[in-house]
Amino acid sequence: MPRIVRTLPCLVAAATLALSPLSSLACTRVVYLGANDDVITARSMDWKQDVATNLYVLPRGIARTGEAGPNSIRWTAKYGSVVATGYDVSTTDGVNEKGLSAQLLWLVESQYPKFGKDSKPGLTIAAWAQYVLDNFATVAEAVSALEKEPFTVVTDNVPGEDRLTTLHLSMSDKTGDSAIVEYINGKQVIHHGKQYQVMTNSPTFDEQLALNAYWTQIGGTTFLPGTNRASDRFARASFYINAIPKSEDPVQALASVFGVIRNASVPFGITTPGQPNISSTRWRTVVDHKRMLYFFESALTPNTFWVDLNKVDFSAGAPVLRLDLGKDQRNTFSGEVSASFKAAPPFAFLGLKTAKTG
């Protein structure tokens, strides 16, 4: 049975990626709870090399499989979504038409249940976030389903490396509800509540909360840790996401949240030898849940641009659309870009080529 943790106040969140041929991945995710039911979720994507990210519009009605061989979970997308990919083989970040957002981040401590022919149906870790976006309208609805463990998360070695892909999942919605899902010692652990505003990487979320309690006692106006380590980014993001003004102007609130996620970013070009959870920030996304805007900011381009989900056709049978961000996400866009997407085939989620029976 999964372990579920619930509480009431505020904390922090971060983000990252799915299966990929690279070795260094980190990220930060935060949720802002503002005035007039304003909820904004931001994340950074930190990675050693080009993540080959593009944006996709995925309509309702797409039939999917867990890509884990014959014993794979199957579903049809109930909701459309706008997502950011990793290598066009995984959904690493996104928001659906109901305002539910999902992010994947690296967590080296992750250990998933064993998968075999007698297990619950398999779901490739590359489609974990997409499963949530396709099927649920709120965090509470997602948690209620996930605690029943309808699938087995299936991971494999990072291509070209002798180590497993290890991730945890964050979710947030229009109400400000939030959840962090981890697999520790093969068991699912869910932290559910509005207080879970921040997520980064190692250590496990329980330990991150304990470390952050120390910095909360000191007080952010007195001293905050300044390194690019995950626990330090967690402490800074936790302080700032609750210290910024609760502006009734959504544009000012958005600017404040961008400031927080930029503060938790790692300057471009920096990697830390021996610490694979620390790499350059490649890009950032921000979800304005109330106005249904999805912002994207590349470290290598001068402009922040956004998708207005109210302008997107998510109806079943509508074409899949792709916004080509280019190598290192260098293609430059400005303003609202929904009209710049082009029809494209849906990307294929990376999974197991054959069923594993262990």
Active site residue ranges:
27
User: 36 in helix, strand or coil?
Assistant: helix
How does 150-178 read in b/e, with b if 16+ C-beta sit within 10 Å?
Answer: ebbbbbbebeeeeebbbbbbbbbbbebbb
Structural tokens at position 190: 């869910």
Rounded CA separation 132/321 (Å): 20
Tally DSSP H helices, then E strands, for the chain: 5, 21
d(CA 152, CA 125): 9
CA distance 297 to 182: 27
Which residues lie across from 34 on neighbouring strands?
Answer: none
Cα torsion 27, 212, 100, 90: sign: positive
Q: Are residues 167 and 16 in contact, defined by beta-carbon separation less than 8 angstroms?
A: yes
